[in-house]
Structure 1
């Protein structure tokens, strides 16, 4: 499994000479896996990094797109509205997300594409888009199989099938083993709005990736979140603020993390590789790098936790 960072900036896209190394695209991460059918691409969030992602995926022959939204803030949706896939009627497009207030993923796109906010109305381009509203994310599991395509299961059914090694139906009389699938699970995150984190497990190789963005510092980490993240080979986590900024700069409650929280979460879960993301739009490259240094200073001599800054266009082998 490979993860590509197409956008790692938070809140606003930026262009500044001091931010060239890190990049200025807002959140967008692609997940590539041997479990994906030919022509199928998977991406998390649609910030401005979605545009370079889409251009590269189309160059590679993308025919079907699965877009997983953590939430619907503008910095996680704005790139979708300017990239080719949403306008391509021949492109099978699946958009996943939870419901916040009265807005599921379909209602969000209907609203943000309303005139005069967008030049093309949602109704004019929506025929090729399938929306998947996940009411209670922890109770659902999404499976993607290289031959069977995609199916959404109740968590209890998934666990029962997995424990008894029973194949899962993908429709049209086709069944496939879970151990041949990319397994996508979800957990609530701590942010002012209803947000979720995604866990991708590539069953044939056993490799696991989690994106935990827009996650507020928690004084106590829930057992369910610890279990969700445990066993992860690569965690990419929101670390927007230093501890001083968080405690004394009025950033507490904004829904973002710190190096201290990342280290504490790693210790609780056993994760040994964390990439920092959702960089503040005012943070130049040196300031982003300083957050990694701050996290490394918290480690004990015998700890092997690897910390690094995510940068636009970087690729990570999970």
Structure 2
């Protein structure tokens, strides 16, 4: 394997997204391109938070890091087309559809001269990372011929617990509690840290030590809070064992780990803008620096 806060600024969904050139090399910012879980949810009830599935971008010390490739990746790709050629580092938590659906329509991957370093864990009994990504993820699911992938795609295998360096950016990983496995990431640069934990389910008898250790004293924890506690324990339709957590458990984790800010992420497909507004009020009542993830949100880290 190659070794390698203040209040958030928001852009509306229909406004131009800022280009990386508007941030200097000393910046560390996170931009959210897809915040929904399970399946895209376009429609009038999801306009403000967005309906695209998981994809976020970190611009750190002049480098571009992309986490997951849900349908939000298509919009990120459109923005990148004005900046050719590009080099970026892509990290996958796992390979369920809502985290890979955007890659077949990620236009920069079809443009010669671009370079993408693709990192992830091989699933149990899987092949190499390259084989798994090309033959299992793209080949049976992509409507676009794979011969069109003209960018330089380089693949690297990670295991939960591995750490690596990209120059002076440290990237640590940890096991998440999710069906078919998933992996969380901690990105640290210049004394500032962001933790990305999607998809993960809290444990019934205490805090998940993997997530707790990964999150210690982070500036920001982006946490899979797909459900409320009431939904998770619903007598009629419980979500126990489905691989996702609640905002209440996210707050417990953030408090125990000494996290400065928690971002509620991976919104349930049934949660409308109005419902998420209500969750925002409830979570901020107990953790005032909590933020609801929404498309277009730009979050400066440690400013």
Check whether TM > 0.5. yes
Counterpart in 2 of 1:312?
Answer: 295
Q: 1:296/1:60 Cα in 2 relative to 1: closer, same or farther (>3 Å)?
A: same
* 1:37-48 equivalent positions in 2, closer than 5 A: 41-48=64-71
2:165 to 135, 139, 143: 143
Counterpart in 2 of 1:197?
Answer: 184
Task: Calculate the aligned-residue CA RMSD, in Å.
Answer: 1.9
Counterparts of 1:96 and 1:126 in 2: how far apart (Å)?
A: 19
Counterparts of 1:112 and 1:35 in 2: how far apart (Å)?
A: 30
Deviations 1:252-271 (A, max 9, x none): 11111112201110121011
2:136 to 111, 119, 139: 111
Q: Is the 8 A contact 2:80 2:108 kept in 1?
A: no
Counterparts of 1:122 and 1:194 in 2: how far apart (Å)?
A: 27
1:93 to 95, 111, 116: 116
Counterpart in 1 of 2:216?
Answer: 230
Deviations 1:24-47 (A, max 9, x none): 1110010011252xxxx2100001
Q: 1:247/1:114 Cα in 2 relative to 1: closer, same or farther (>3 Å)?
A: same
Counterpart in 1 of 2:144?
Answer: 120
* 1:65-104 equivalent positions in 2, closer than 5 A: 65-103=88-126, 104=128
- Tell me by how many angstroms 1:59 deviates: 1.8
Q: Is the 8 A contact 2:227 2:244 kept in 1?
A: yes
For the pair 1:20 / 2:47, whether they are aligned, the reply is yes
Secondary structure of the residue aligned to 1:101 is coil
Q: Is the 8 A contact 1:35 1:202 kept in 2?
A: no
Q: Is the 8 A contact 2:169 2:188 kept in 1?
A: yes
Name segments (4+ residues, structure 1) moved above 6 Å: none
TM superposition score normalised by structure 1: 0.79
Q: Is the 8 A contact 1:209 1:234 kept in 2?
A: yes
- Tell me by how many angstroms 1:61 deviates: 3.9
Q: How many residues align?
A: 269
Q: 1:105/1:294 Cα in 2 relative to 1: closer, same or farther (>3 Å)?
A: farther
- Determine which structure has more spread, i.e. the larger CA radius of gyration: 1
Counterpart in 1 of 2:244?
Answer: 256
Q: Is the 8 A contact 1:241 1:291 kept in 2?
A: no
Q: Which structure exhibits the higher relative contact order, with contacts defined as CA atoms closer than 8 Å and separated by 6 or more residues?
A: 2
Q: Is the 8 A contact 2:113 2:151 kept in 1?
A: no
Q: Is the 8 A contact 1:259 1:294 kept in 2?
A: no
Counterparts of 2:99 and 2:60 in 1: how far apart (Å)?
A: 23
